[in-house]
Structure 1
């Protein structure tokens, strides 16, 4: 089993009591982020592709939301047990690139918000009134959320996005979505229930790989000279990860299950986590056996995984650097 559990410490763990509480800074940040979300991701039809694209492009760039995210963000549903602590809630871990490009834009925001300090968690909680874009084409979701009916049901009925903020850094460290926010979703929609065919990635009728959003479609410029190389280098890496049994664990249905899931099954997800993947491989921290003991990869497989991973990481950084130098 390819696991990175040893490298998945959440930013929420442990707060230095000697550091100041940045409540005034958090209040200003919340106002700025809520206004930005209302402006670039306002209420629209849940099927409006153009509105979704504008939202994605805005949040993925130099946005207030992105600037105020921690280097790693936990994301997931609000625990159905209202008394459950965050430490007892399952989350997926994302880099800012992934969460701002693929997940937050799936919601629309009214600009309404509230802030409170939750003593039990020792974190600030920001509640944003929201609604979910449930009528987009399947390839616009990072993976088929409908693989789990309960998860898809909460997404479709979501009326709030929750942001948990570390009071000592004023950074957002956890994001959640919930249908128990107290208000109706900001946009009414009809629930749909697609069938999951077991495929996390697939080819559409035109022969294009889906989900398109995970191929950096709409995030990197179409004239980015590294797009083709990104695709080819990821395909090589994907084969090596398959050989290393990464897809036994690091896929959306979380077969282990892991309390803090790391996804590697698409180019965008892998790009966000490639540095940590390589660190785990170099340190012989994976795979783990069924008892959780480290079982380093065979030398030849380790070498191939490191080489393909390093090549992919190099192209990802080159593509990002090119984007940074060609902003409008």
Structure 2
């Protein structure tokens, strides 16, 4: 028996050889994962998005409102970019900490409407891009060379980014937009911008100095207009849309109820509670993109939250009023969107048959 056992034991040299082989196998496996080939669907999606952005949002003077609105209208509609955005995506700047993961990065949650209508169009593109597999995130990363429209009027930004100096500096000096794509579906789950890139800036940046801003996040300018105009669907919906007034009024009613229910204490751009996944409700366009989630959260007593980040139920009256105002806001949005859809159809039909009167 002793002889049998001894014959099955490996000699020290054989043991070392086996261990080395195992280590090499693991190393090769890790390298293979790190160098995962880009599949055709990801390559195609990245190329289509990059080409669209270069065509619809090309380089222009950083204060060119016309170019900005053209980009907004293109991306907000049935664009390649929008078609690839996940139902809930995350957006924000790249974390400056070395080797920081997405999980360790504070990001804001958006529905496709809000991001494609207000955030992505703030950048300009030349079509150049790269695609790589990032094993730590288990996603493909599309890097697009980009520049930022830092000289637009204040009302064309979703909120004053200069409320935080470091944020505004990275926006102004952005060199790249980063799209994180799911390997299975080619959907964009996370998008970021960064001022760190191996490529040079696409055009010179003339910095704009703003006084530090701490609110309000909706304000009235010297001409009596509510700002930011971009959050009122300006440039996306037709001025003659008869439901825009209702959307504005219903949002103000909702905002009042959210204040009464302590909902706006957290969901504002300066993120006072330092939430790692912020949801904004501070303007009509932001709230429009999140109204369904807001209604669901209130019905399920998952908001608001106390100082310990624990959700609690509203009083019966506050819950009733908040839900009623949210549902009324949603109804006005639905009516406005339906009117836009019908108007768009009439525009197309008129172009096809200009002599036919469409009622």
Query: What's the TM-score once normalised by structure 1's chain length?
Result: 0.92
1:91 to 104, 107, 128: 107
2:276 to 242, 259, 267: 259
C-alpha deviation, 1:226, in angstroms: 1.1
Q: Is the Cα contact below 8 Å between 2:52 and 2:80 reproduced in 1? A: yes
Task: Tell me whether 1:73 sits opposite 2:73 in the alignment.
Answer: no
Q: Is the Cα contact below 8 Å between 1:45 and 1:187 reproduced in 2? A: no
Could you tell me how far apart the structure 2 residues matched to 1:237 and 1:294 are? Answer: 20
Task: Tell me whether 1:243 sits opposite 2:280 in the alignment.
Answer: no
1:17: which partner in 2?
Answer: none
1:267-306 residue CA offsets vs partner (Å, 9 max, x unmatched): 0000000000010100111222222332100110110000
1:282: which partner in 2?
Answer: 299
1:159 to 175, 186, 195: 175
Largest Rg, 1 or 2: 2
Could you tell me how far apart the structure 1 residues matched to 2:206 and 2:342 are? Answer: 42
2:350: which partner in 1?
Answer: none
Could you tell me how far apart the structure 2 residues matched to 1:82 and 1:60 are? Answer: 34
Could you tell me how far apart the structure 2 residues matched to 1:298 and 1:128 are? Answer: 48
Could you tell me how far apart the structure 2 residues matched to 1:82 and 1:110 are? Answer: 28
Could you tell me how far apart the structure 2 residues matched to 1:189 and 1:292 are? Answer: 40
Could you tell me how far apart the structure 2 residues matched to 1:165 and 1:72 are? Answer: 13
Could you tell me how far apart the structure 1 residues matched to 2:61 and 2:251 are? Answer: 34
1:117-170 residue CA offsets vs partner (Å, 9 max, x unmatched): 100100000000000000010000000000000000000000000000011111
Could you tell me how far apart the structure 2 residues matched to 1:324 and 1:184 are? Answer: 41
2:161: which partner in 1?
Answer: 145
2:231: which partner in 1?
Answer: 214
Could you tell me how far apart the structure 2 residues matched to 1:91 and 1:120 are? Answer: 18
C-alpha deviation, 1:234, in angstroms: 0.5
1:3: which partner in 2?
Answer: none
User: Which structure 1 residue ranges, 5 or more long, are not aligned?
Assistant: 1-20
Could you tell me how far apart the structure 1 residues matched to 2:162 and 2:86 are? Answer: 28
Could you tell me how far apart the structure 1 residues matched to 2:110 and 2:168 are? Answer: 19
1:172: which partner in 2?
Answer: 188
2:74 to 39, 42, 58: 58
C-alpha deviation, 1:259, in angstroms: 0.5
Q: Is the Cα contact below 8 Å between 1:44 and 1:187 reproduced in 2? A: no
Root-mean-square deviation (Å): 1.2
State the SS of the aligned residue for 1:88. coil
Could you tell me how far apart the structure 2 residues matched to 1:128 and 1:183 are? Answer: 10
State the SS of the aligned residue for 2:204. coil
Q: How many aligned positions are there?
A: 308
Could you tell me how far apart the structure 1 residues matched to 2:334 and 2:108 are? Answer: 23
Deviates more, 1:284-293 or 1:101-110: 284-293
Could you tell me how far apart the structure 2 residues matched to 1:79 and 1:198 are? Answer: 23
C-alpha deviation, 1:43, in angstroms: 0.4
C-alpha deviation, 1:22, in angstroms: 8.4
Q: Is the Cα contact below 8 Å between 1:56 and 1:105 reproduced in 2? A: yes
Q: Is the Cα contact below 8 Å between 1:42 and 1:109 reproduced in 2? A: yes
User: Which structure 2 residue ranges, 5 or more long, are not aligned?
Assistant: 1-36, 348-359
1:315: which partner in 2?
Answer: 332
Query: What's the TM-score once normalised by structure 2's chain length?
Result: 0.84
Q: Identify which of structures 1 and 2 has the higher relative contact order when contacts are C-alpha pairs closer than 8 Å and 6+ apart.
A: 1
1:190: which partner in 2?
Answer: 206
TM superposition outliers: structure 1 runs of 4+ over 4 Å: none
Q: Is the Cα contact below 8 Å between 1:143 and 1:211 reproduced in 2? A: yes
